[in-house]
Structure 1
């Protein structure tokens, strides 16, 4: 019945009626544990948003999140629905090349509630909610990290935000994390050298002085070498914020492959990213 009415409304270009039908139908089916049928209507809801050219606004985003939250975590079509939602937001608002940050925030909050920290982290990385990202990272580290990784959790996140050219959120995340993490709760300068490096890096971004950036990377080389990916992130940050040329050597090996996936915009890479550690960033986002 739902699909019959949907095709009728769609043929008549009665998109508002179609959207209301699909949303209420999907919600009803999902709440009655008819996951497959409910997800099918949810997918048609996204398709209709795209067909009608509906903008990313509070109402559809809220409804998208409601439907996603009603889908069981082991629903095989849940991830497909999520990708359809993100692709819709990209097509109607292409300035956000990895998806609208408001939509990512909604997904991040849902995954966080489900204690799926890796996927929550991925979506918060593509949002502009620094306070929630910091709170998530604190909970993630406290529940699943080692005490010695307290600085690694925030350093990676800040560097990735900067690679996405999201400097403002990077600053908020760093300050909230260092002030509110139960193992830190301190103001700069910090006891841990890596935290001082990140703090000085954020300050250096305000000056744009390449000499300051170069000296920082040299002085804190030992801390930077704790994670081999940091060097690749910093190469990119040097290009974006300090006008440095790309390194003459191309990334290679395992970490080169990671960066290749970071800078790709393929749906399969996005899917892989949201199922792992949330490292992926598209090439277009960095241009």
Structure 2
């Protein structure tokens, strides 16, 4: 089927995407053929508008992987979809199952920043709104403003991006430095966000052992495909996210 789609240069339609996703869900979990099928299907769905693969296909793949409790790969595909609300629902479940209470804001922060790095402003807003409204440990706070500084930072960041005022962005990042230092990867994401939404210049490249996150954004933006059958035991957004990670774990 994929061979026919490729050779005929067929443009993805809702029916074809649904058929591909359904067949993926029927393939045996853990087999090499399943991953090969996934890679080929996503590559076929790529186009000028969707260079990382069609968002609808990523959404359906993420839903299947979430049902299988393969959170790492489900998150990878949610980030490449437009379904910020679905991603938030999964992250709430993931944090309650595997995260520490102190990580409740970290799980959300990484997702919002990564959506913004992929220039998905609507999805970034959706994942923020849904997560803060549905997570039982946050709904008690009745924000915004929230008790947790990082949640306030995200709330203000999304508003600042809409305003397009670079001075607000600069001051915001400066004022929240103590909270942003909880995860060194945030600096990389915010540098990229500054370039995309505020026309700030890219920071001068660093060399040597201090630049341990030099390839951090490459995995997110390069369109590599996550291992759909890898069970990611890393708590996404938690303390372990401050260590160098494979693309599957990061994305």
- Give the aligned length: 231
The structure-2 alpha-carbon separation of the partners of 1:189 and 1:168, relative to structure 1 and needing over 3 Å to count, comes to: same
How far did residue 89 of structure 1 move?
0.4
User: Is contact 1:141–1:153 with CA below 8 Å preserved after alignment?
Assistant: yes
Choose between structure 1 and 2 for higher RCO, CA contacts under 8 A separated by at least 6 residues: 2
Which segments of 5 or more consecutive residues in structure 1 lack a partner in the other structure? Answer: 1-44, 281-287
- CA distance, structure 2, for counterparts of residue 257 and residue 62 of structure 1: 34
| Pairing 1:139–2:93 present | yes
The structure with the larger Rg is 1
In the alignment, what sits opposite 1:258? Answer: 216
Q: Among residues 154, 160, 167, which one is paired with 1:204 in the alignment?
A: 160
Tell me how far apart the structure 1 counterparts of residues 226 and 124 of structure 2 sit (CA, whole Å): 24
Could you tell me which of 110, 115, 127 is aligned with 2:64? Answer: 110
Alignment CA distance shift 1:278-1:128 (3 Å): farther
**Cα distance in 1 between the residues matched to 2:211 and 2:33:** 33
Q: Measure how far apart 1:259 and its partner are.
A: 2.8
1:175 to 107, 129, 134: 129
CA RMSD of aligned residues (A): 1.7
Q: Is the 8 A contact 1:161 1:170 kept in 2?
A: yes
Q: 2:184 aligns with which of 202, 215, 228?
A: 228
CA distance in 2, matches of 1:208, 1:279: 28
Q: How far apart are 1:273 and its partner, in Å?
A: 9.0
Instruction: Give the CA deviation at 1:249.
Output: 2.9
Choose the corresponding residue for 1:190, options 137, 143, 146: 146
Looking at structure 2, the residues matched to 160 and 141 of structure 1 have their Cα atoms a distance apart, in angstroms, of 18
Please give the alpha-carbon distance, in whole angstroms, between the structure 1 residues aligned to 2:155 and 2:179. Answer: 13
Q: Where in structure 2 are there 5+ consecutive unaligned residues? A: 233-247
Q: Which residue is 1:219 aligned to?
A: 175
Q: Residues 274 and 127 of structure 1: is their aligned pair in 2 closer, same or farther, counting only changes over 3 Å? A: farther
Give the drift of 1:53: 2.2
1:51 aligns with 2:12: no
Match for residue 112 of structure 2 among 158, 162, 185 = 158
Cα distance, 1:279 vs. partner? 3.3
How far off is 1:272 after superposition?
Answer: 5.7
- Tell whether the 8 Å contact from 2:108 to 2:131 is kept in structure 1 after alignment: yes
Structure 1 segments (4+ residues) deviating >2 Å: 249-254, 257-265, 269-280
Q: Is the 8 A contact 1:160 1:279 kept in 2?
A: no
8 A Cα contact 1:118 1:274, kept in partner: no
Q: Which structure dedicates a bigger proportion of its chain to helix?
A: 1
Paired position in structure 2 for 1:81:
37
User: Match for residue 22 of structure 1?
Assistant: none
Aligned partners of 2:160 and 2:169 also within 8 Å: yes
